[in-house]
């Protein structure tokens, strides 16, 4: 079976004021459907850059991302947006909820942006992360752990093929981290959710089926 | 949902921006509405049962006794096609806080001014002596009623009638009385209304007036145009004020929406991350601007209503006509101004790099 997500010679070089800074140097990575992969590495090793490229938020300098059998090289912004909508769910380190609207509206927004009917899905998804009672609260009325659970609900309500999590426990205390990791692990085990998780924490990385290490823009294990 | 929530997170700024749009809308409606005052004056002056106005050849303002009344009338009546001649002596008097152009007319000529049934709302037309008829608008503005005494030119006039507004002057007195008040020894007139026996006679009568009497002769339609031409620059001045107001509104909207976009750089990255297209981000920003515009339009209509009521309370004889279609124009103007103001920031938001946006602190 072909991998759900595959990178081939993925290279990213940032240029500023005539100075080229390589962030990724030819990364080859394959993630199978239903797999839970952790990517670990020190700060600045290119983890987040890799995640943004996997999520088609950015374009590589060289190489390509093949997502669900589609080579995304050469896709224009509209095409990448469509692929992202169709296949990707994002969870960010800083939760990144919209502060002006409630938890339920944040979750519903992901469906609305895709033009899908909303129905009871946001409420059910918030129930699945244990926040049904607090669904009408705005993010600033929730604890940071709860905010991250809302972010997970928002990422998964669209039933994405792959969940990309960028240091999802990076801003959480140990208790909230446990809850979030249990939640992510539960979706993986029970629903077969494909997950790519970035972390610099060994214990968090150990939750995954496979651990990939990065250094200086390259994969060193995995 | 999201656009409304976003603009409500900054209520004061949203309110100020909407007010700025509203001021533009209200300025447009009130200032353009004020130009109807000029039209109302021109309409009244030309709305007399006659075909031609005969005036002195070199007089711009119709005031004072520039012409001998009886001899000029006699000469006018000798012109073939002339059916009737109505001499008018105009003189100003202070009433209801403003100078009013009093029409001195022969009581027998009243039917030329009483167009339409029931123009007399109360009392009767002037007959003789120190009698005065005033129109309903001036009566309301100055609190005048039939039987009341009014001081004018050192005499006491009695109000004998209230007439419906809309024909010639707001105040009528007998022409002989007005001549006496101005101490003319022989009867004088400011101008004459002339009635022709048909449209075909109007041209020859005008030629005869010009050739034989060396006076100006206008049809009432021409006189209307002459009056409107006198104020031709006024709409330009008002247009300039409206343009400046509109431009200021545009700048306020531009600045507000630009600030909104800058403030929400990270949020735009989030939206792109969770699946928003560039078009959706653009639409979101424009929807927020549209909501501000809608609020501004409503505020502008309310300000217009308030400003009009206030102006007419302070200046009851002014006219501010605002036909319903002009509200649509004002709304369209606000929408266009807001659209133009929001366009650049919305495009900037749509073009933002999602990764850069997500890294924005």
CATH number of the domain enclosing A103? 3.40.50.300
Chain A closest CA to B239's CA: distance in Å?
A: 40
A21 CB neighbour count, 10 Å cutoff: 10
Residue B116 has pLDDT above 70, yes or no: no
Indicate the range of A173-187, B52-66, B306-320, B330-344 predicted with least confidence: B52-66
Give me the number of domains chain A comprises.
1
Q: What is the mean pLDDT of residues A188-209?
A: 91
CA distance B270 to A90: 9
**Which residues between 257 and 316 in chain B have a beta carbon less than 8 angstroms from any beta carbon of chain A?**
266-267, 269-278, 280
Enumerate the domain spans of chain B: 2-35+232-359, 45-230
* A164 compared with B318, residue with greater pLDDT: A164
Q: Which residues of B touch A84 (CB under 8 A)?
A: 275
Q: Which residue of A has its CA nearest to B275?
A: A85
Task: Kindly list the residues of chain A whose beta carbon comes within 8 Å of any beta carbon in chain B.
Answer: 52, 55, 57-58, 77-78, 81, 84-85, 88, 90, 92, 96-101, 105, 109-110, 113-114, 154-155, 158
Cross-chain residue pair A98–B2, CB shorter than 8 Å? yes
Cross-chain residue pair B275–A78, CB shorter than 8 Å? no
Residue B245 has pLDDT above 90, yes or no: no
- What's the pLDDT score for residue B164? 87
Residue A42 has pLDDT above 80, yes or no: yes
- H-type alpha helices, chain B: 2-8, 11-34, 36-46, 69-78, 110-113, 136-142, 175-181, 199-208, 220-230, 233-263, 265-273, 278-314, 324-351, 354-359
CA distance B127 to B209: 30
CA distance B260 to B278: 17
Residue B117 has pLDDT above 50, yes or no: no
Residue indicated by tokens 């006679």: B201
B270 → closest Cβ in A78, A88, A98: A98
- What's the pLDDT score for residue A165? 93
Task: Count CA atoms within 13 Å of residue B31 on its CB side.
Answer: 21
- What's the pLDDT score for residue B31? 86
Cross-chain residue pair A109–B274, CB shorter than 8 Å? yes
B276 → closest Cβ in A58, A113, A154: A113
* Domain span including residue A120: 5-221
What sign has the CA pseudo-torsion B115, B116, B122, B125?
positive
Chain A closest CA to B356's CA: distance in Å?
A: 10
Q: Which residues of B touch A96 (CB under 8 A)?
A: 266, 269-270, 273, 358
- Kindly indicate the confidence band of residue B59, based on its pLDDT and cuts at 50, 70 and 90: low
Helix or strand run (H / E) with residue A11: strand A5-16
Please tell me the pTM assigned to this model.
Answer: 0.78
- What's the pLDDT score for residue B52? 92
Confirm if A64 and A28 have CB atoms less than 8 A apart.
no
């Amino acid at each position: 079976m072909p991998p759900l997500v595959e990178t081939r010679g993925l290279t990213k070089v940032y240029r500023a004021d005539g100075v080229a800074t390589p962030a990724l140097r030819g990364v080859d990575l394959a993630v199978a459907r239903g797999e839970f992969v952790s990517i670990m590495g020190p700060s600045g090793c290119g983890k987040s850059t890799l995640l943004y490229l996997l999520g088609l938020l950015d374009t590589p300098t060289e190489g390509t991302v093949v997502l669900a059998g589609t080579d995304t090289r050469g896709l224009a912004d509209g095409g990448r947006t469509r692929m992202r909508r169709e296949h990707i769910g994002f969870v960010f380190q800083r939760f990144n909820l919209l502060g002006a609207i409630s938890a339920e509206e944040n979750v519903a927004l992901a469906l609305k942006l895709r033009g899908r009917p909303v129905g009871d899905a946001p409420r059910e998804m918030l129930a699945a992360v244990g926040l049904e009672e607090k669904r009408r609260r705005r993010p600033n009325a929730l604890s940071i752990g709860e905010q991250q659970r809302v972010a997970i609900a928002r990422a998964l309500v669209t039933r994405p093929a792959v969940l990309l999590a960028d240091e999802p426990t990076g801003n959480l205390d140990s208790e909230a981290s446990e809850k979030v990791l249990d939640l992510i692990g539960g979706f993986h085990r029970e629903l077969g959710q494909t997950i790519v998780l970035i972390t610099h924490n060994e214990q968090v990385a150990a939750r995954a089926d496979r651990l990939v290490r990065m250094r200086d823009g390259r994969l060193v294990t995995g | 949902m999201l656009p409304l929530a976003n603009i409500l997170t900054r209520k004061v700024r949203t309110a100020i921006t909407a007010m700025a749009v509203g001021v533009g809308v209200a300025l447009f409606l009130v200032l353009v509405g004020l130009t109807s005052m000029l039209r109302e004056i021109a309409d009244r002056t030309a709305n007399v049962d006659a075909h031609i106005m005969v005036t002195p050849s070199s007089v711009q303002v119709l005031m004072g006794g520039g012409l001998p009344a009886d001899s000029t009338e006699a000469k006018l009546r000798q012109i073939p096609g002339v059916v009737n001649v109505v001499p008018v002596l105009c003189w100003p008097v202070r009433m209801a806080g403003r100078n009013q152009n009093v029409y001195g007319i022969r009581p027998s000529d009243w039917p030329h001014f009483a167009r339409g049934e029931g123009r007399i709302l109360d009392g009767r037309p002037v007959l003789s002596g120190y009698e005065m008829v005033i129109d309903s608008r001036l009566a309301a503005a100055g609190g005048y009623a039939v039987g009341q005494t009014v001081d004018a030119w050192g005499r006491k006039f009695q109000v004998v009638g209230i007439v419906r507004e809309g024909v010639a002057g707001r105040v009528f007195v007998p022409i002989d009385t007005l001549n006496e008040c101005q101490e003319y020894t022989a009867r004088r007139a400011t101008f004459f209304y002339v009635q022709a026996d048909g449209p075909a006679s109007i041209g020859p009568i005008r030629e005869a007036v010009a050739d034989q009497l060396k006076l100006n002769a206008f049809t009432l339609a021409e006189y209307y145009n002459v009056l409107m031409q006198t104020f031709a620059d006024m709409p330009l001045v008002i247009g300039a004020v409206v343009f400046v107001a509109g431009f200021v509104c545009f700048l306020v909207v531009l600045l507000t929406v630009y600030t909104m976009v800058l403030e929400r750089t990270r949020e735009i990255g989030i939206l792109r991350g969770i699946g928003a297209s560039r078009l959706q981000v653009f639409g979101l920003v424009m929807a927020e601007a549209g909501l501000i515009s809608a609020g501004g339009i409503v505020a502008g209509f309310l300000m217009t209503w308030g400003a009009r009521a206030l102006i007419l309370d302070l200046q009851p004889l002014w006219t501010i006509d605002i036909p319903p279609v002009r509200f649509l124009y004002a709304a369209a103007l606000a929408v266009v101004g807001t659209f133009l103001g929001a366009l650049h920031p919305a495009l900037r938001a749509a073009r933002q790099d999602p990764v850069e946006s997500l890294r924005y602190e």
